[in-house]
Amino acid sequence: MSNTGSFEQRSLQAGIVGETMTPVTRKMPGTDPPAWPTNAELHVVGKDVPRMDALDKVTGRARYTFDVQLPGMLYARAINSTVPHARIKSIDTSLVERYPGVRAVHVLERLTMAAQLRDPGAEANEPYPVIRFTGQPIAAVAAISARAAEAAAQLIRIEYEPLPHVTELDQAMQTNAPAVFPGPTEQASSAGGGGAPRGLPQKGNLRGPSKSGSHGDIGRGFRDADVVVEGEYRTQVQTHTPLEAHGIVADWRDDELTLYASTQHVFSVREEAAEIFELPQEKIRVISDYTGGGFGAKYGVGNYGTLAIHLSRKAGAPVRLVLDRREEHVSVGNRPSSLQRLKIGAKRDGTLTAIELHSFGSGGVAAGAGVGSCHHNMYPCPNVSIEHYDVFTNAGPCAAFRGPGQTQGIFAFEQAIDAVAARLQMDPVALRNKIDTRDADDVRARAAERRIGAEKFGWSRRSAPGSDSGPIKRGMGMAQSMWPYIVNGYTTCEVRISGDGAVDAFCGTQDIGTGTRTVFAQVVAEELGLQPEAIDVHVGDTRFPPGPPSGGSRVTSSLTPAARNAAYAAARDIANRVAPLLSAKGEELVFRGGRIEKRDDPAVSLGFAEALRRAGVESLVHRADRRDDYEGYAHKAGDLHISPHAIGGVQFAEVSVDTETGVVKVERVLAVHDCGRPINPKLVESQILGGVIQGVSYALYEDRRLDAATGVQLNANIDQYKMVGSRETPQIEVHVIELLGRQSSTDARGVAEPANVATAAAIANAFFNATGKRIYTLPMTPANVLAALRSEQP
């Protein structure tokens, strides 16, 4: 949304509360409310307000997609490929259609999420989408019961013409490997990010190189170096595994479509459905009351949603399609694997002279398996050379996943920086103090976070690498996070106030479990002098004003300024109407403690509802947009508006390594983070706890395993796909700083992704400190750990 109207210069205090605050001047729209003071001086914002939907969730009242029950609703079951690579010669659905209780069958015409051929002619004559991974959705059936749908699905007859396949990155990179695609491909990005640069060369399964971020003269950089460290790092495929699988209820009637979806963005669901079904957007309504986790894979309608909509249209009835756990693992997204050859040169004082990265990643049949941007934009370095290749394999498509790319990249990069410190015999914290020097908020935040963290963690007690005797060795490590501060290109909030004092707040954005409803209510309540419970918040509906996707850590940064500005406009409107009743001017009135009172004479006041009644207000409606950040953006990519200031974060970990069994335990983690102004510290802490837990899980356990011969995921469940459990969850301490960047009317930024980015690297650096050996391969299973301990390499 472009800024219109008059602007004015305002002088403000910016910086880290309790650290350094400095005067700044910001040019901002004249309609923006005055800057908020620090959280300590606010009433509702910055407080640990309990999650507003907590009771509904723990009592089961909250309606998730799986709970949607419509009259005459049918149950759908998908039919997925049993082979990894094949042409489909024929599909016979006649037995499925004749099965008792079946109302509709649909065969998918086009596969989304996967890369698309640059020249579609190569497969133009295929009667059905070519199968490129085991588990690829092919068709679906809708029936009067889930049992009937499942039984009917077994009766489909598919004639495959098998093609050679390859599932492992190393094999797929070989020149004689079976080609997953017959020609070069493109991968568009989704609302959740991802996608791949356009027009890159592709040879066989190797798409690239992408050299984005390269600059300077790498040869000179290494000639200038006093020390060079080199390593080959590998990370595994991680699947999203949200508690709630993907699901949708499609209700197509009278050429209008209503979709109940488990999604991270109701508007992306509407957009994709409109495109696929050639419907005007206003004919489609998407509702998401509750979403049981997303992590980046829940955007758009996807292949399963498309099938459900087709079935609803054919059957003339609502259709529910919820994925089973296997489908959730296999075919709706994952964090791609990576192979990163990383070489760093530095001066004796730590100054970086060269960073060279050759990386490969496989997102299965999807491109976009990059390893983030940390190599070229975290620490200043004059010579950076990056070559990244996506490698196609016959495996399910990748999707954005909590800190996409950056989590893999930081695992290698922050270990390499740790290795530079070890080589220079410098303290890893001191080395970061030396090299983390850009002029940006995240840099200033990390400086404070390192200092606070080192002290709280007891970093000074860290001993030399491998100094424990006995088979169980302990160590401490730290790693830094960097994630862009993103503002969504459009966000509008509406505040409606009724004459009886009821306040309703609307935005189409959804709450995927992060607490969006609660922070929305807090911001509106703060402006109106009310308690958050007094605000009836409405989210998750495309009929409401447009709101951001729950991805890219951008909801709070995008939503809260629009919410505050709408509430502020409503408050000023009310003040002007109420002023005559109090023999005051509108600008003299403030909203505090449920009352409207004269700023200098609080005795002159009226209760909020009483004031509205006496002023004769029937209803007021105010809308406001998220205006651009006061200092603008470094760049814009579609609806991603990216600030020159990033989000920081520093994590410290202590591990124990059993060098005889290879079992690693993360004993404790200290996570020190910034997210601009923490609107609700409790919810911020909860996000960070989740990020650390997911990071420990990634570091130690999670690993999608495919059978090479069949392409079948062997651990497509939550028994053998190992995730961190309660007893492996370390003691986690969270510390959040209050950073007032003065870029918007709330100063809020995100934290979901930063909380996940540094964990694996911090654990790996602690592993090195414990054992004197580096762990180059994730996850840190006994097999990988024992191999690392036996390795000749330090």
> Residues interacting with other proteins, by CB under 8 A?
82, 147, 151, 471, 658, 660-663, 700-701, 705, 707-710, 712, 714-715, 720, 722, 724-728, 781-783, 786-787
User: Which residues, listed in sequence order, are joined to residue 9 by a DSSP beta bridge?
Assistant: 27
Cis peptide before 779 (omega within 30 of 0): yes
Question: Tokens in use for 561?
Answer: 């300024």
What's the min distance (Å) between Cβ of 693 and other proteins?
A: 12
Nearer residue to other proteins within complex by CB, 450 or 473: 473
Nearer residue to other proteins within complex by CB, 373 or 659: 659
Nearer residue to other proteins within complex by CB, 611 or 763: 763
User: Which residues, listed in sequence order, are joined to residue 386 by a DSSP beta bridge?
Assistant: 357
Nearer residue to other proteins within complex by CB, 337 or 481: 337
Distance between CA atoms of residues 139 and 105, nearest Å:
7
Beta-carbon contacts of 564 under 8 Å, excluding residues fewer than 6 positions away, are 33, 523, 524, 526, 527, 745, 746
What's the min distance (Å) between Cβ of 787 and other proteins?
A: 7
Nearer residue to other proteins within complex by CB, 84 or 208: 84
What's the min distance (Å) between Cβ of 708 and other proteins?
A: 6
Nearer residue to other proteins within complex by CB, 153 or 525: 153
What's the min distance (Å) between Cβ of 87 and other proteins?
A: 18
What's the min distance (Å) between Cβ of 778 and other proteins?
A: 14
Distance between CA atoms of residues 26 and 13, nearest Å:
10
What's the min distance (Å) between Cβ of 388 and other proteins?
A: 28
Triad 642, 645, 647: Cα angle to 5°: 95
Question: Tokens in use for 436?
Answer: 């983390």
Which residue is associated with the tokens 């994630």? Answer: 483
Side chain identity at residue 779, one-letter code: P
Question: Tokens in use for 149?
Answer: 């749908």
What's the min distance (Å) between Cβ of 699 and other proteins?
A: 12
Distance between CA atoms of residues 458 and 448, nearest Å:
16
Nearer residue to other proteins within complex by CB, 765 or 781: 781
What's the min distance (Å) between Cβ of 134 and other proteins?
A: 8
Distance between CA atoms of residues 680 and 689, nearest Å:
14
Which three-class secondary structure state does DSSP give residue 618? coil
User: Taking a C-beta distance cutoff of 8 angstroms, is the pair 287, 258 a contact?
Assistant: yes
What's the min distance (Å) between Cβ of 710 and other proteins?
A: 5
Beta-carbon contacts of 790 under 8 Å, excluding residues fewer than 6 positions away, are none
What's the min distance (Å) between Cβ of 794 and other proteins?
A: 21
Query: Considering only CA atoms, which of 263, 305, 265, 259 is closest in space to residue 284?
Result: 259
What's the min distance (Å) between Cβ of 705 and other proteins?
A: 5
CA-to-CA separations, 215 to 3, 346, 355, 379, 382, in angstroms, rounded: 34, 16, 10, 13, 7
Nearer residue to other proteins within complex by CB, 523 or 700: 700
What's the min distance (Å) between Cβ of 57 and other proteins?
A: 22
Distance between CA atoms of residues 273 and 260, nearest Å:
12
Query: Considering only CA atoms, which of 658, 629, 79 is closest in space to residue 324?
Result: 79
Distance between CA atoms of residues 638 and 137, nearest Å:
29
- Dihedral pair phi/psi, residue 189, rounded to 5°: -80, 160
Where are the extended beta strands (E) located within 373-458?
Answer: 384-391
Beta-carbon contacts of 309 under 8 Å, excluding residues fewer than 6 positions away, are 250, 252, 257, 259, 273, 276, 277, 301, 319
Query: Considering only CA atoms, which of 399, 410, 406 is closest in space to residue 296?
Result: 399
Where are the extended beta strands (E) located within 46-101?
Answer: 74-80, 86-92
Side chain identity at residue 327, one-letter code: E
Helix axes 555-578, 516-528, angle to 10 degrees: 30
Distance between CA atoms of residues 295 and 318, nearest Å:
28
Per residue, the 3-state secondary structure of 564-584, as one string, reads: HHHHHHHHHHHHHHHHHHHCC
User: Taking a C-beta distance cutoff of 8 angstroms, is the pair 628, 490 a contact?
Assistant: no
The distance of Cα 686 from the centroid of its chain, to the nearest Å, equals 15
What's the min distance (Å) between Cβ of 655 and other proteins?
A: 14
What's the min distance (Å) between Cβ of 470 and other proteins?
A: 12
Triad 25, 752, 195: Cα angle to 5°: 95
What's the min distance (Å) between Cβ of 700 and other proteins?
A: 8
Nearer residue to other proteins within complex by CB, 1 or 663: 663
Nearer residue to other proteins within complex by CB, 150 or 631: 150
Dihedral angle computed from the Cα positions of residues 669, 674, 675 and 680, in that order, rounded to the nearest 10 degrees? 70
- How many H helices and E strands in the chain? 19, 36
Nearer residue to other proteins within complex by CB, 151 or 332: 151
What's the min distance (Å) between Cβ of 249 and other proteins?
A: 23
What's the min distance (Å) between Cβ of 689 and other proteins?
A: 17
Neighbouring C-beta atoms of residue 463, cutoff 10 Å: 12
| C-alpha atoms less than 13 angstroms from C-alpha of 155 in its C-beta half-sphere | 16
Nearer residue to other proteins within complex by CB, 621 or 689: 689
Nearer residue to other proteins within complex by CB, 65 or 659: 659
What's the min distance (Å) between Cβ of 284 and other proteins?
A: 35
Nearer residue to other proteins within complex by CB, 57 or 326: 326
Nearer residue to other proteins within complex by CB, 198 or 727: 727
Nearer residue to other proteins within complex by CB, 96 or 104: 96
Nearer residue to other proteins within complex by CB, 712 or 763: 712
Beta-carbon contacts of 267 under 8 Å, excluding residues fewer than 6 positions away, are 191, 286, 508, 542, 546, 547, 549
Nearer residue to other proteins within complex by CB, 54 or 714: 714
Side chain identity at residue 146, one-letter code: A
